[in-house]
Chains A and B, each alone.
Chain A
Amino acid sequence: MKRAGRTGLADASFSVADILEAVPVSLSQVAEWTGISRRQLAYWINQRILPAEPRPSAAMVQQAMLIKAELDRDIPLRRAAAKAEALLQAARALNELEERAPVDQASALIRQRIDGCLAALVGIDRTLSDLTDDEVAQVLAAIHRFRQAMAGGERLPGGFLVLADQFVESLSTSVAVPLVLTSDELPIAAGAS
């Protein structure tokens, strides 16, 4: 429950990592939670597609879910695993950049992502009346999750670049209407630092 520490009651939430850290979990439980059969998980571990660990970790669950998402799109296993690995590597690289790049460079990237999030919010706001009730509920859930991760905006959370990308992606997939704005419609005026 690392995210909940410094803000109000509304921000208490558990991540998969919190749960796996606190509770001894079996492969069968991971199978139940991910919707992947235990046999399939064991096969992936056996084939070294997933890491062989004494206890399932959040990283393993994450990797398994990414592979499953690709398999659901009818991508063959090996290609799905490679794509999942590429995604994870890209996320790691982005996190590394956020942590290690010179502050000016990292800040510029973060600002770019913030602008992307703001633009997506304007897009949602504009199309809200056209959205179905289900879409609205999904948008609300996505905003709640993002705000929780941001701890109510008090601090810049670790892994913000990936988090912001996930947020914009989840908004885009929640609604059928495209969220495209022209540059002069962006909420932050051009030229602002």
Chain B
Amino acid sequence: MVTAFDDALVLARIELNVVDAARLCGITARQLNYWTSKGYVQALCDQPRRYTVQALAVAYRIKRSMADGHSLERAVRLLHDVVDGAPASPAENRDAVNRQIALLSDELTTLRQSVEVELLRRRLEACLDQLEQPAVVQSLSQPDSATLTARSTIETAIAAINAAIRAATAPALSYAEPSAAGVEGSLRTTAG
């Protein structure tokens, strides 16, 4: 069993000033000051311009919610709807543990069923990430023979992946997908 390091020990001790805190959240210091003055984000009690990582996670959630098109007020309301903080009383904690155990068990059981696909997806994503690197984009755009070989290899790999996926899913898809004529027929029946 490898238990290299748990971030939580360090994260619990980190405090950032308003400039660094704003930078981490991707907002301006002025925004963070305003949200603090409105009570949406908590600064440290004894140092009003310093923040814990936990407080900054709140600021980040507000920012992300606003980026999704919500107003500041709505973003804050949404934040309060989210149940993820530590509940106040020990009894609530016990209830929360029960709920969290059930949720996590379900998530792990679901994940267990799709491990192979998830691994393949992750490895493919890693390849795509590499393809997006500016140096790789530039290099693969060159018309020299090495690049042409590389492009052709990637194309062949993509074709092989698509063929493999089609071969693996064909029986399931042909069973699941009704024909266009069948759908039209059933629509006519329903309408009639």
Contacts and interface: CB of A to CB of B under 8 A. Distances in A.
Interface residues of A, number: 70
A186 interface: no
Interface of B: 1-11, 13-14, 16, 20, 23-24, 53, 56-57, 60-61, 64-65, 78-79, 82-84, 86, 90, 93-94, 96-98, 100-101, 103-112, 115-116, 118-123, 126
A65 interface: yes
Q: Is the interface of A mostly helix, strand, loop or mixed?
A: helix
A4 B3 CA distance: 23
Given A87-B2, A90-B2, A110-B119, A143 B104 contact: yes
A137 B86 contact: yes
B106 A22 contact: no
B4 A87 contact: yes
Interface string A24-54: 0000000011110000000000000000000
Given A90-B2, A99-B123, A118-B105, A136 B14 contact: no
B11 to A, nearest CB: 6
A71 interface: no
Contact of B111 (A16, A145, A156): A156
14 contacts: A8-B82, A15-B7, A90-B2, A103-B120, A111-B112, A114-B115, A136-B97, A137-B90, A137-B93, A143-B100, A145-B6, A156-B115, A162-B3, A162-B4
A121 B105 contact: yes
**Residue among B82, B83, B86, B107 with most chain A CB within 10 A:** B107
B116 A107 contact: yes
A94 to B, nearest CB: 5
B16 to A, nearest CB: 7
Nearest to B83: A10
**Residue among A1, A61, A158, A161 with most chain B CB within 10 A:** A1
A139 to B, nearest CB: 6
A117 B108 contact: yes
A125 B101 contact: yes
A188 interface: yes
Contacts of A103: 116, 119-120
B105 A10 contact: no
A121 B10 contact: no
A161 B4 contact: no
